Chain A
Amino acid sequence: MKALEHVFVTLKSHKDRSCVSLVCKDWYEAERKSRTHVFIGNCYSVSPEILIKRFPNIKSVTLKGKPRFSDFNLVPPNWGADIHPWLVAFASAYPFLQELRLKRMVVTDESLELLVQSFPNFKALSLVSCEGFSTDGLELLATHCKNLTELDVQENSFEDLEGSWLSYFPETFTSLEVLNFANMQTEVSFAALEQLVARCKSLKVLKVNKSVTLEQLQSLLVQAPQLVELGTGSFSGDLTAQQHTELADAFDNCKNLQTLSGLWDAASIYIPLLYPACANLTFLNLTDAALQSEDLAKLLPNCPHLRRLWVVDTVEDEGLEAVGSTCPLLEELRVFPSDPFDEDGIPGGGSGVTEAGLVAVSRGCPKLHCVLYFCNQMTNAAMATVVQNCPDFTHFRLCIMTPCQPDYLTNEPMDEGFEAVVKTCTKLQRLSVSGLLTDLTFEYIGKYAKNLETLSIAFAGSSDRGMQCVLEGCPKLRKLEIRDCPFGDTALLSGLEKYESMRSLWMSACNVTMTACKLLAKERPRLNVEVINEEENDDTRAEKVYVYRSVAGPRRDAPSFVITL
């Protein structure tokens, strides 16, 4: 037995471990004892008790909570996904817990307090898209976690109490390797930050927030030339000639940068400062920089190894043409809208990027396999061209910002475009559709997208048949999220056989009734069928439905607006 455990220790992948545990009882036992990291994609699919019973030696936990559409305000507040009961269980079962990575969960200061008190070896905390805590909680972490190596609180909505949480790291504290507070709104104590950076010689990842100025950045860079990932603060303002030179030198010294982000409000005149630091850059995140095409065109040639690029659509098609002609190694592109809610009420405003931009990138970047593209117009022909140029897409997320918009040249639905995508890109794992779509799109998806795991649908489809095709046709489907589509009870129930093999299904603003949900719940007791009805008036409609498999049974912490059937 022990020998097996020694062997299994080398197994890192969850899929491998899953397979191994199914072989026989001995292997199951060996696997469960040797596992140190567990990933739970839906915190309600299993309970803390079940987890700690099976895996006694866990040191690292990754948990995801709310359905993804909660990022877009489709899930009411106080829905759940509180980390606290997990921490309570971990406190007794895993006193040697070192890492906690949470996504879309509620984390209160109280929980953070419990964390620092219960786990003396705690090393890494990563919170993405979480909420419920404040800088007070961060102070606790800084004060008590002597061995902290990672503190990543990006993209959360937490209360920024303007304290000086950074100064709570004691002077003896030197272990930090990752520090990311890029989305914090308020000023941090720069003195504390500077000293922290100075004494943490192993710091590899530093992503500061907007409050850090260019001048301050210079002194940080000077202290930490070893950085591999840098997120700057504000990238505009006034610099004296001397400061400019010093900053240029500092960037010149950053030979190890692979990731660059931040660059808030980047001023054209300062972008050239970055050039020397981009020699080894593989990921450039310009989503806070909102560059114009000229600036991007001049920056890119300095990034010969670029593989991932995130930009704002201020670069326009011209900027994307520059991408196409300058970044042959590009694998991932994300284009975010600068003005998603234009004042004129036109989703996506009136400028930005068009289909031409995406086509230009596809022509020049044959390795492109991951795209997230927000645009105002698209054509079927362009989509076909794109996937012809880049047949290896694994992640294809297209958001034509005005709902139900057809091909703007032919006025046809966008069915053909997505047909081209799923037909050509056999490796497609993740797909988000948009534009005017009939059931045909979903027929195509069901027919061709055999590797599809995640599908997001909004304002699309003509009838139940659409959803049915997907449920019946995509064998690897794990996550299906649907909003504002004409899929009803028949569609929901057509997945009866399917849902237990999936992580979850989300349907909101569709045509599903409570009756169907109740039927589903009755037929499949191992599924949790939850309906969120915020308005009291309509008892028959199921406004928001969340269906997921679970071995933990129905939630015990469901709020009043969540009805478990």
Chain B
Amino acid sequence: MSPLLLGILEEGQSNVSIAGSSTSLDSICQNGAGFRERNYMGLSDSSSVDSSSISSLSEEKKSSMNLKATELRLGLPGSQSPDRNAELSLISSANLDEKPLFPLLPSKDVISSSSQKPITSGNKRGFSDAMNGFSDVKGTVFSEGNWMFSATGGNSETAHSAAQGKYPTNTAMSRSSLNLGVTSHSMKDQSGVESSKLKEVLPSKGSQEKPHGANEKGQNQMTLATNTSTPPAAKAQVVGWPPIRSFRKNTLSTTSKNNEEVDGKPGPGVLFVKVSMDGAPYLRKVDLKTYSAYPDLSSALEKMFSCFTIGQCGSHGAPGREVLSESKLRDLLHGSEYVLTYEDKDGDWMLVGDVPWEMFINSCKRLRIMKGSDAIGLAPRAMEKSRNRN
């Protein structure tokens, strides 16, 4: 899993939400040398292309199938999703009947377990994992409907191409802007669900693919690709939504950026950075200036996002202690459920606590509370970086 994670990081993408609690994944990761950086967004790396093409064939079908099912098509009972896209409709009609996304008519229990939840809002969702301690996930349990299954594969194709528009098979994807937008971002936020999905998907795919390793990589790559590509894809995808005039978009984004930049200057003033948590329905902002050390930040965030812990901050936050041993960190991480990470000025995601506090607040652009298991791959990079700094 780590190489995949690295791949994402290579992209400088935020919001890495790879589910990776499956042991089969870990076993792949453990093959030490596999910490190669892969470029999953582009086609430059031939090996990733190969693995993608291996899986793409079988994915193709799945992708179209799933895409249809995942497509935000207001598939309320009685209305069939239209053929948005000729290429997408490789689906058999059987699939159209498959689990409409908004089964409103139905009984209450369907609603409560409905798949409408995940689609409706990227952030208000009942991930099975994120459910732990998240009382404000409005009581809905995400039901693992068919559409989620292998949707990882499917969506990655589409989200992938949506993000780049390069995949020839998916040129028409751009039209289904809405689909991708919502599905992509819903995919992205499905980290909790994906973990369980992945477990199921992998074994089944294992039988299809040739080398288990390649398969894993391929599968993970797809998942990865989903997650990698989703943030920008989601951002750009739903054309014209929300309905903001473009001149206003520029102004507002500049304004908020300016505010953050102004706020981000060390010295007087405030230093607001966004904090997101995997599975959380909302983001918060914290003023880093109001804290003087990692434990302060940690406890504040803990209060904010109740079920969260920074594994290693206490022990490694002290200035001077920059070098971390890989295994020690991993041990710590394994022990905690969540890990605090931050995106630095280079766009890299680092574990919080690696560097002295001052250095940290100078370089921190945003914070993210990641699943501990997702963050395993971060450790080596953090250490490399701090080594380089030394």
Are A312 and B74 closer than 8 Å at their CB atoms? Answer: no
The reply on A236 being an interface residue by CB < 8 A is: yes
Contacts of A403 in B (CB 8 A): 72, 120, 178, 182, 238, 241
Instruction: Choose among A347, A377, A488, A510 the residue that contacts B242 (Cβ–Cβ < 8 A).
Output: A347
Instruction: Choose among A344, A408, A413 the residue that contacts B104 (Cβ–Cβ < 8 A).
Output: A413
Are A404 and B240 closer than 8 Å at their CB atoms? Answer: no
**A433-473 interface code vs B (CB 8 A; 1 in, 0 out):** 00010100000000000000000101111110000000000
Instruction: Choose among B119, B251, B258 the residue that contacts A287 (Cβ–Cβ < 8 A).
Output: B251
Q: Find the B residue at minimum CB distance from A460.
A: B74
**A359-394 interface code vs B (CB 8 A; 1 in, 0 out):** 000000000000000100100000000000000000
Most buried by A among B73, B177, B241, B276: B241
Are A511 and B82 closer than 8 Å at their CB atoms? Answer: yes
Q: Find the B residue at minimum CB distance from A70.
A: B240
Minimum CB–CB distance for A166 against chain B, Å = 20
Are B14 and A404 closer than 8 Å at their CB atoms? Answer: no
Are B120 and A458 closer than 8 Å at their CB atoms? Answer: no
Minimum CB–CB distance for B315 against chain A, Å = 30
**B219-245 interface code vs A (CB 8 A; 1 in, 0 out):** 000000000001111111011111111
Minimum CB–CB distance for A79 against chain B, Å = 14
Minimum CB–CB distance for B88 against chain A, Å = 11
Instruction: Choose among B87, B245, B262 the residue that contacts A155 (Cβ–Cβ < 8 A).
Output: B245
Contacts of B185 in A (CB 8 A): 345-347
The reply on A211 being an interface residue by CB < 8 A is: no
In the docked arrangement, what's the CA distance between A339 and B274, Å?
12
| Given contacts A411-B111, A436-B102, A459-B178, A401 and B242 within 8 Å (CB-CB) | yes
Are B283 and A351 closer than 8 Å at their CB atoms? Answer: yes
Contacts of B111 in A (CB 8 A): 411
**A391-406 interface code vs B (CB 8 A; 1 in, 0 out):** 0000000010111111
Contacts of B122 in A (CB 8 A): 344-347, 402
Instruction: Choose among A157, A349, A511 the residue that contacts B247 (Cβ–Cβ < 8 A).
Output: A157
| Given contacts A72-B244, A338-B252, A438-B76, A404 and B283 within 8 Å (CB-CB) | no
Are A155 and B255 closer than 8 Å at their CB atoms? Answer: no
Contacts of A341 in B (CB 8 A): 235-236, 249, 253
Interface residues of B in 239-279 (CB under 8 A from A): 239-249, 251-253, 255-256, 258-259, 262, 274, 276
Are B104 and A350 closer than 8 Å at their CB atoms? Answer: no
Are A339 and B102 closer than 8 Å at their CB atoms? Answer: no
Interface residue stretch chosen among A85-93, A137-145, A219-227, A534-542: A534-542
The reply on A357 being an interface residue by CB < 8 A is: no
Instruction: Choose among A290, A350, A402 the residue that contacts B276 (Cβ–Cβ < 8 A).
Output: A350
Are B255 and A350 closer than 8 Å at their CB atoms? Answer: no
| Given contacts A351-B283, A462-B104, A340 and B249 within 8 Å (CB-CB) | yes
Minimum CB–CB distance for B198 against chain A, Å = 20
Minimum CB–CB distance for A173 against chain B, Å = 28
Contacts of B66 in A (CB 8 A): none
The reply on A198 being an interface residue by CB < 8 A is: no
Are A344 and B120 closer than 8 Å at their CB atoms? Answer: no
In the docked arrangement, what's the CA distance between A69 and B178, Å?
15
Are A73 and B247 closer than 8 Å at their CB atoms? Answer: no
Are B240 and A73 closer than 8 Å at their CB atoms? Answer: yes
Contacts of A156 in B (CB 8 A): 247
Are A402 and B231 closer than 8 Å at their CB atoms? Answer: no
Contacts of B85 in A (CB 8 A): 538
| Given contacts A345-B234, A406-B116, A485 and B74 within 8 Å (CB-CB) | yes
| Given contacts A350-B276, A402-B121, A72 and B240 within 8 Å (CB-CB) | yes
Minimum CB–CB distance for A143 against chain B, Å = 26
Q: Find the B residue at minimum CB distance from A75.
A: B240
Instruction: Choose among A339, A411, A438 the residue that contacts B140 (Cβ–Cβ < 8 A).
Output: A411
Are B242 and A399 closer than 8 Å at their CB atoms? Answer: yes
The reply on A288 being an interface residue by CB < 8 A is: yes
**B89-107 interface code vs A (CB 8 A; 1 in, 0 out):** 0000000000000101000
In the docked arrangement, what's the CA distance between A374 and B283, Å?
17
Are B78 and A290 closer than 8 Å at their CB atoms? Answer: no
Q: How large is the interface on B (under 10, 10 to 19, 20 to 34, 35 or more residues)?
A: 35 or more
In the docked arrangement, what's the CA distance between A463 and B75, Å?
9
Are A351 and B248 closer than 8 Å at their CB atoms? Answer: no
Q: How large is the interface on A (under 10, 10 to 19, 20 to 34, 35 or more residues)?
A: 35 or more
Instruction: Choose among B178, B234, B245, B256 the residue that contacts A71 (Cβ–Cβ < 8 A).
Output: B245
Are B285 and A351 closer than 8 Å at their CB atoms? Answer: yes
The reply on A483 being an interface residue by CB < 8 A is: yes
Contacts of A129 in B (CB 8 A): 245
Interface residues of B in 307-352 (CB under 8 A from A): none
Minimum CB–CB distance for A40 against chain B, Å = 22
Are A343 and B178 closer than 8 Å at their CB atoms? Answer: no
Minimum CB–CB distance for B248 against chain A, Å = 7
The reply on A417 being an interface residue by CB < 8 A is: no
The reply on A193 being an interface residue by CB < 8 A is: no
Instruction: Choose among A71, A290, A409, A460 the residue that contacts B259 (Cβ–Cβ < 8 A).
Output: A290
Q: Find the B residue at minimum CB distance from A440.
A: B104
Are A344 and B241 closer than 8 Å at their CB atoms? Answer: no
Instruction: Choose among A71, A340, A488 the residue that contacts B252 (Cβ–Cβ < 8 A).
Output: A340
Contacts of B79 in A (CB 8 A): 462-463, 486, 511
In the docked arrangement, what's the CA distance between A510 and B120, Å?
18
Most buried by B among A336, A402, A405, A458: A402
Are B245 and A462 closer than 8 Å at their CB atoms? Answer: no
| Given contacts A342-B283, A345-B235, A408-B138, A336 and B244 within 8 Å (CB-CB) | yes
The reply on A554 being an interface residue by CB < 8 A is: no
In the docked arrangement, what's the CA distance between A265 and B85, Å?
43
In the docked arrangement, what's the CA distance between A338 and B272, Å?
15
Minimum CB–CB distance for A262 against chain B, Å = 11
Are A343 and B235 closer than 8 Å at their CB atoms? Answer: yes
Interface residues of B in 139-158 (CB under 8 A from A): 139-140
The reply on B197 being an interface residue by CB < 8 A is: no
Are A349 and B124 closer than 8 Å at their CB atoms? Answer: no
| Given contacts A349-B283, A406-B120, A463 and B241 within 8 Å (CB-CB) | no
A-B contact pairs, 5 of them (CB 8 A): A72-B241, A337-B242, A343-B366, A350-B274, A405-B124
If A336-B252, A346-B123 are given as contacts, then 19 extra A-B residue pairs at C-beta distance below 8 Å, sorted by A number, are A71-B246, A74-B239, A183-B251, A287-B248, A338-B255, A340-B244, A343-B274, A344-B123, A350-B276, A351-B282, A402-B122, A403-B72, A404-B102, A408-B124, A436-B120, A462-B77, A463-B78, A483-B240, A486-B75
Top 3 A-B residue pairs of the complex, sorted by shortest distance between their CB atoms:
A350-B283, A345-B234, A72-B240
Binding site for B on A (CB under 8 A): 69, 71-74, 129, 155-157, 183, 236, 264-265, 267, 287-290, 312, 314, 336-351, 374, 377, 399, 401-406, 408-409, 411, 413, 436, 438, 456, 458-463, 483-486, 488, 509-511, 534-535, 537-538, 541, 543
